[in-house]
């Protein structure tokens, strides 16, 4: 068996021999097939900027330059892997012309592996060029409410809350229920899972990067099943709305200035003068304390009309803290969406056409077929119980959504680059 060091020496020797190499042009064509030239050129431009700024940092440290170098580092790393794979293809193609049969076989096997990986590298490089979500590294809040479907929607909302709680437990992600309100009604059981009629719930997920992990879960989750109370055996269709909100840190030093609670230019900044606070007695079960003390808090942000109520804790102070946390997250998300909509309208890209809306159906849970379908990644999985238990099939659905989000962002980036590169008279008119 040949050693890798010996193969490397033979590679160098083979490449040193003068010969006609038609495969060089073929490799270039393959590269362009896997990665649009306009994106490859953008990557090289950004990598050149990265190297220039990194050299400047060696001479004198500057926080702004260091931040920009950090932003460009993932592009530089992805391009380095891409270029290494392309160089490897050229070398291996050269060895295919070797007179040594064993060396040709080794080169053929290695070339097959490298070609199989080139698509993954192209996608990774393309994804590194897309803007990183500003909330990606933050914790998050999952806000769950029943949609159309009456009581059946409320029951399934409780199952969705449980699904995400079980998922976090299985993955070792820190999470706790910040708010869980139910309405009067008997419990239901479906697939062995007990359900209560949920009015509203907020799941707080504390690990950094949780927003990036769960952001694809935002949207309408549709369920098709026969309720326990259905005497005729008819299938009912209901829906549950899930919002994914960024969760700011109580540690101001850990937050960038543009997300500071004290900076008026931050999307999370809320002027206390704009918020009306009301103290109320909590409703629902809880005994004499709930009935006799005004521990519940309702906050209303008057400029936007956003209202938050919190009564889960017996402590008024704790309810006020949690209400402000949720209010800031909702306002921050709305401001971010408004900025994105303005930017999308300005650049008129495919992103504005494919953007997920809160009313968009993203997933269907079909009990009769024991199936769950994600309508963005186009993935069907069977064994619905595993999905609703937060099992590995939920991982597959979430991964499929991430791939769809990356493909959408890449398509938007290509559209922007092509629009920017087109002559003024040939730019698309819409």
Least confident interval from 25-29, 290-294, 295-299, 371-375? 25-29
CA separation for the pair 143, 215 (Å, rounded) = 12
Helices 4-16 and 101-129, axial angle in degrees (round to 10): 90
To the nearest whole number, what is the mean pLDDT of the chain? 80
Q: Are 383 and 395 in contact (CB under 8 A)?
A: no
What per-residue confidence (pLDDT) applies to 322?
A: 87
- For residue 17, pLDDT over 80 is answered with no
- For residue 327, pLDDT over 70 is answered with yes
Residue with the two structure tokens 């971010």? 336
Taking the alpha carbons of 345, 349, 353, 356 in that order, is the dihedral positive or negative? negative
Question: What b/e readout covers 347-376, taking b as 16+ CB neighbours within 10 angstroms?
Answer: ebbbbeeeebeeeeebbbbbbeeebbbbbb
The model's pLDDT over 71-118, given as tens digits with 9 standing for 90+, comes to: 899 999 999 999 999 999 999 988 888 888 888 888 888 888 888 888
pLDDT band of 265, cuts 50, 70, 90: confident
pLDDT band of 200, cuts 50, 70, 90: very high
Neighbouring CB atoms inside 10 A of 3's CB total 8
Neighbouring CB atoms inside 10 A of 67's CB total 12
Strand partners, 225: 236
Helices 101-129 and 23-34, axial angle in degrees (round to 10): 30
Sheet holding 371-374, edge to edge: 175-182, 198-205, 140-146, 236-246, 219-225, 361-366, 371-374, 379-382
Mean pLDDT value across residues 331-338: 80
pLDDT band of 312, cuts 50, 70, 90: confident
Neighbouring CB atoms inside 10 A of 212's CB total 18
Torsion of CA 258, 260, 263, 269, to 10 degrees: 100
What per-residue confidence (pLDDT) applies to 32?
A: 39
Element (H, E) at 106: helix 101-129
What per-residue confidence (pLDDT) applies to 353?
A: 36
Least confident interval from 49-53, 253-257, 363-367? 253-257
Q: Which domains does the chain have, with CATH numbers?
A: 4-129 (no CATH), 139-234+352-430 (3.30.70.1660), 248-347 (3.30.160.20)
What per-residue confidence (pLDDT) applies to 411?
A: 85
The model's pLDDT over 1-14, given as tens digits with 9 standing for 90+, comes to: 333 333 343 333 33
Count H helices and E strands in the chain, helices first: 12, 13
Strand partners, 296: 280
The model's pLDDT over 137-164, given as tens digits with 9 standing for 90+, comes to: 889 999 999 987 788 899 999 999 999 9
Strand partners, 194: 189
The model's pLDDT over 163-172, given as tens digits with 9 standing for 90+, comes to: 999 999 999 9
Mean pLDDT value across residues 33-40: 78
What per-residue confidence (pLDDT) applies to 269?
A: 79
- For residue 285, pLDDT over 60 is answered with no
pLDDT band of 18, cuts 50, 70, 90: very low
Mean pLDDT value across residues 263-286: 76
pLDDT band of 175, cuts 50, 70, 90: very high
Q: Are 72 and 50 in contact (CB under 8 A)?
A: yes
What per-residue confidence (pLDDT) applies to 44?
A: 93
- Higher-pLDDT residue of 430 and 365 is 365
Q: Are 255 and 262 in contact (CB under 8 A)?
A: no
Q: Are 193 and 384 in contact (CB under 8 A)?
A: no
DSSP 3-state of 34: helix
What per-residue confidence (pLDDT) applies to 177?
A: 94
Report field, pTM of the whole predicted structure over 0.75: no
What per-residue confidence (pLDDT) applies to 185?
A: 80
Rounded to a whole number of angstroms, the distance between the first and last alpha carbons of the chain is 62
């Amino acid at each position: 068996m040949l050693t890798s060091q010996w193969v490397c020496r033979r590679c160098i020797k083979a490449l040193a021999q003068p010969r006609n190499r038609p495969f060089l042009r073929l490799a270039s064509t393959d590269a362009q097939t896997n990665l649009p030239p306009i994106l490859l050129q953008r990557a090289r431009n950004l990598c050149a900027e990265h190297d220039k700024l990194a050299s400047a940092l060696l001479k004198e440290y500057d926080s702004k330059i260091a931040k920009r170098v950090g932003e460009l580092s993932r592009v530089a790393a992805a391009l380095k892997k891409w270029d290494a794979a392309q160089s490897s293809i050229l070398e291996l193609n050269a060895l295919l012309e070797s007179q040594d049969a064993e060396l040709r076989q080794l080169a053929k096997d290695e070339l097959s592996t490298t070609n199989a990986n080139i698509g993954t590298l192209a996608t990774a490089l393309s994804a590194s060029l897309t803007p990183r979500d500003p909330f990606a590294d933050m914790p998050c809040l999952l806000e769950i409410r029943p949609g159309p479907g009456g009581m059946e929607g409320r029951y399934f909302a409780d199952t969705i809350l449980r699904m995400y709680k079980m998922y976090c437990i299985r993955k070792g992600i820190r999470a706790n229920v910040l708010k869980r309100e139910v309405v009067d009604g008997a419990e239901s059981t479906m697939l062995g899972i007990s359900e209560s009629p949920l009015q509203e719930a907020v799941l707080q997920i504390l690990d950094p990067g949780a927003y990036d992990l769960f952001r694809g879960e935002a949207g309408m989750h549709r369920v098709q099943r026969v309720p326990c109370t259905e005497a005729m055996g008819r299938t009912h269709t209901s829906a549950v709305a899930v919002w994914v909100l960024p969760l700011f840190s109580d540690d101001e030093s850990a937050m960038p200035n543009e997300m500071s609670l004290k900076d008026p230019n931050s999307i999370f900044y809320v002027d206390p003068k704009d918020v009306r606070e009301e103290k109320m007695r909590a409703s629902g079960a809880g005994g004499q304390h709930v009935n006799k003390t005004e521990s519940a808090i309702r906050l209303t942000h008057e400029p936007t009309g956003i209202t938050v109520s919190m009564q889960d804790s017996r402590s008024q102070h704790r309810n006020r803290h949690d209400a402000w946390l949720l209010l800031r997250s909702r306002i921050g998300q709305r401001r971010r969406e408004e900025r994105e909509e303005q930017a999308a309208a300005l650049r008129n890209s495919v992103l504005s056409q494919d953007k997920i809306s809160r009313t968009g159906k993203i997933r269907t849970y079909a009990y009769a077929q024991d199936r769950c379908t994600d309508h963005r990644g186009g993935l069907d999985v069977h064994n619905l119980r595993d999905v609703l238990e937060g099992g590995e099939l939920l991982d597959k659905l979430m991964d499929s959504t991430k791939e769809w989000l990356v493909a959408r962002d890449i398509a938007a980036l290509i559209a922007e680059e092509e629009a920017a590169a087109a002559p003024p008279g040939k730019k698309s008119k819409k």
